[in-house]
Amino acid sequence: MHTIYAAKKIITMNPTRPYATHVAVRDGRILGAGSLDELTGWGEYTLDQRFADKVIMPGLVEGHSHGMEGTLWSYTYVGYFDRMNPDGVIQSGVKSIAAVLARLRAVEATLSDPDAALPGWQLDPIYFNNERVTRAHLDQVSATRPIGLLHASGHIVNVNSKALELAGLLREGIDNPGVPLGEDGLPTGELKGPEVMGLVAQYVGFDQDFLAVDQAGLLNFGKLCVRSGVTTATDLASRLAPSLVTMMQTVIDAEDYPARIVSLLFHGGVSPDELIKRAHELRAQSSEKLRLGMIKVVADGSIQGFSARLRAPGYYNGAPNGLWYISPQHLEQILTQSLATGLHVHIHTNGDEATALLLDTMEQCLVRHPAPDHRFTIQHCQLADTAQYRRMARLGLCVNLFANHHFYWGDEHYRLTVGPERALRMNACATALQHRVPMAIHSDAPITPLGPLFTAWCAINRLTASGRVQGESERIGLDEALYAITLGAAYTLKLDGEIGSIETGKRADFAILEDDPETVGGANLKDVAIWGTVQGGRVFAASEL
Amino acid sequence: MGDGAGRASVCRQRTVKTIPITVIGGYLGAGKTTLVNHLLRHAQGKRLAIMVNEFGELPIDADLIEATQDNMIALAGGCVCCSFGSDLIAALRELAQMQPPPDNVILEASGVALPGAIAGTLSLLSGFVLDGVLVLADAETVRQTAQDKYMADTIKRQLAEADMVLLNKTDLVTPQELVALRAWLPQWAPAARVIATQRAVLDPAIVLQDFIQLEHVASGGPLQHVAGFETCQLAVTAVADAAEFARQLIQDNPGLVRAKGFVREAGGALKTVQIVGQRSEVSLAPAQARAGMVLISLAGDIMR
């Protein structure tokens, strides 16, 4: 006995049969897509009409997100843009400092413990005419409880006087570039950079390992997946301590968890030998819905944080070059041992110098350990130039580009970080495809919201927040964008034989849409309404989460 | 707005016991781990806490290890070694909770880390005080690494942030090369005192101010012997301003590597003065302290 779902339209992403009206599902897998007549040959069936007026696509694949997106929603949202929370409620963006304070005051009024911290997230003062948030602002909300607001970039936090006091930072004589001082000689409350932020994190409620998701957050993350049509998402990356793995297994392997999670092991904090050993142990613990054993290496920082490694001529505003987070020797060891023992590595590079180091290292490693289908993937790879894409193609590398970035920070890259010319080539989707580099595009949630259709819209239109098209020649077409958020992303995870298209034998993972992306078109793709998902044959309606 | 600012800004003087932290930087292979093991072998009863970014193949010599847990290794003589991963602050706060707390923390930075940035953060952390930034340079390879396509600026920034550069593995280069290296280093490490070593062997008093013995200063007892260095005592009676006194001492003594002691200011307060390279730190002296300074200088550079 199997189920046949009827739909208004099924976009299969399978070129031999690109469209269908029905899809048959048995035991979580697809029997086939086609007309009802064609599918009756599989035997006795139940015809399910609930999607008869919907459009079905392959379940969307988010190739670079963090489970932490789910965790952050337990803090107060103070972002500039409207954003949907795990319960499907659109949190309106706050458009001024006064509005930020008003929202915090409203939350503050609900807190019964007078000492409880008040953490917020996604603050983005670049949209407030660059007026800086200060501790004086936040002290208006509370002078007695610690308040901390994490910026959207993830690189800065604003705190109130109480938080500074608890951290021992409300004093004169501080001389640190990460701690700007006011006219009174005391810190303004803005703390820049992960080290300095770490001094206050525990006092303002950000007290857990920032790479790790907690149980409630993981459940929230699953809800966000359903609401955005995602059936497979990465958690990129995590330290994956045994206790965390146990929690993730319990949550994700449960029948009611709606997404397949691919969690990558972060390279930091362990030696290359330990890393390889641990990745093999984790791989053996993979289940159908929790995939483990891949490695994430972080080579440099971020462009908007000026910690990415850029080649000459460096940062447009003259900022010194960024930071390496791994030595060439350790990178070489990790890549070589992974190639030799069949592990799959994704490497974060933001600046083009970090990408250059990776390409050089990869070339050496592949000479020693040729691997015909390694699919090592460069994550972000925001600033790569055409010559680098040519090398990626020859080295068999994939790329996962941060398409959302030019919407959220494109204007800033143009005027401040890399300047007009290089801003145009950032996240060069068209160049990647032109040079046949297998490509995905991503949100890096929680840095930007989870939502592959929005990400596809970003890659198609390349609009910045101010409404400029930035990099016309790097725009891609609707078909290419839809491929990138399904099979493209699945390919970078070596899951393209299993998910990413609707065809016989694959997992029954579908995005159920109210609108047809092909009718709506690239210009409005972000507005396509999402009904929910089918994941492994189980139906998840966003309205019933 | 809150009135917290006025209240908290007063508490500047360090009255509670603070733990000195020495940051050890330098590129892979320069000898950071060798130095750490050397210090552990000459801990002289002090409880050292070694912080490493990660447990490499052999972070600590096996014979020093007493027990190993997830991210902490218990070592002979009450010393410990912890890996901090990416959350240094949390690891340090945990360390400060140890009973009894460690006497000194030695932080071995990763090969690509900028030790000055780490030191800058540590100096903001209550309960700790920065004891200096020591950067190791591999005499055999440092000039080559400083020209590396990818690592050049990182190596130079590491050197520039050093209070002391340990030019290590000098036994692996010819005397001529050593002379050339000594001429080359100051342009990249202008603020640092350069100390040549082999297998990172040197007196712990150079690395850790706690190992400078002050007991005999006031009583006129025997001078502490620091191998390879000249030690002298300075009987300072009174100074106008301790911070200015420290600055002057540094300026007048290009060979001064370390100094520690107590001076009485014109106002009457007894202050602790600590100097490493060109960095000085002044704080209130402990109650039982008596005026007097110990100076350790590179041999041949003793103050006049």
pLDDT in the model for residue B56 = 67
Nearest to residue A459, comparing CAs of A418, A502, A430, A434?
A430
**pLDDT confidence band for A209 (50 / 70 / 90):** low
> Which residue is associated with the tokens 């290296």?
B181
A283-313: per-residue pLDDT in tens?
999 999 999 999 999 999 999 888 999 999 9
**Range scoring the smallest mean pLDDT among A191-200, A314-323, B55-64:** B55-64
Q: Give the mean model confidence (pLDDT) for residues A417-440.
A: 98
Inspect the interface and report whether the beta carbons of A186 and B4 lie closer than 8 Å. no
pLDDT in the model for residue B238 = 85
Domain range summary for chain B, segments of one domain joined by +: 19-207, 212-298
pLDDT in the model for residue B226 = 80
A325-356: per-residue pLDDT in tens?
999 999 999 999 999 999 999 999 999 999 99
pLDDT in the model for residue B210 = 84
Q: Which amino acid appears at position B224 of this protein? A: Q
How many angstroms separate the CA of residue A190 from the nearest CA in chain B?
14
Inspect the interface and report whether the beta carbons of A327 and B7 lie closer than 8 Å. no
Residue A473: exposure state from Cβ atoms within 10 A (0-12, 13-18, ≥19):
exposed
Superfamily of domain B19-207: P-loop containing nucleotide triphosphate hydrolases (3.40.50.300)
CB-based contacts of A112: which residues, under 8 Å, 6+ apart?
none
pLDDT in the model for residue B8 = 28
pLDDT in the model for residue B134 = 97
- Classify each residue of A51-76 as buried b or exposed e, where b means 16 or more C-beta atoms within 10 Å of its C-beta: beebbbbbbbbbbbbbbbbbbbbebb
Nearest to residue B296, comparing CAs of B218, B224, B190?
B224
- The answer to whether B166 and B35 are in contact (CB under 8 A) is yes
DSSP string, B174-202: -HHHHHHHHHHHHHH-TTPEEEE-STT--
Give chain B's count of helices (H) and strands (E): 10, 15
A324 touches chain B (CB under 8 A): yes
B129 touches chain A (CB under 8 A): no
> Which residue is associated with the tokens 């459940």?
A219
pLDDT in the model for residue B5 = 31
Please determine, for residue A314, whether its predicted confidence score (pLDDT) is greater than 90. Answer: yes
Pairs of CB atoms within 8 A across A/B: 123
Which A residues in the span 327-386 are in contact with B, Cβ-Cβ below 8 Å? 327-330, 353, 356-357
Q: Give the mean model confidence (pLDDT) for residues A163-175.
A: 92
Which A residues in the span 420-479 are in contact with B, Cβ-Cβ below 8 Å? none
pLDDT in the model for residue B123 = 86
pLDDT in the model for residue A330 = 95
Chain A residues touching residue B1 (CB < 8 angstroms): 136, 139-140, 143, 161
**Residue B24 parent element (H or E):** strand B19-25
If one compares B300 and A43, the residue with the highest pLDDT of the two is A43
Whole-complex ipTM: 0.88
A184 touches chain B (CB under 8 A): yes
Low-confidence ranges of chain B (pLDDT < 50): 1-15, 301-304
CB-based contacts of A421: which residues, under 8 Å, 6+ apart?
none
A270 touches chain B (CB under 8 A): yes
Domains of chain A: 76-201 (3.10.310.70), 215-535 (3.20.20.140)
Domain B212-298, classified CATH 3.30.1220.10, yes or no: yes
Chain B residues touching residue A169 (CB < 8 angstroms): 124
- The answer to whether A500 and A486 are in contact (CB under 8 A) is yes
Question: Secondary structure of A261-321 in the HEC alphabet?
Answer: EEEEEECCCCCHHHHHHHHHHHHHCCCCCEECCCEEEECECCCCCCCCCCCCCCCCCCCCC
pLDDT in the model for residue B67 = 87
A348-407: per-residue pLDDT in tens?
999 999 999 999 999 999 999 999 999 999 999 999 999 999 999 999 999 999 999 999
pLDDT in the model for residue A416 = 92
pLDDT in the model for residue B221 = 66
A245 touches chain B (CB under 8 A): no
Chain A residues touching residue B7 (CB < 8 angstroms): 165
Inspect the interface and report whether the beta carbons of B9 and A171 lie closer than 8 Å. yes
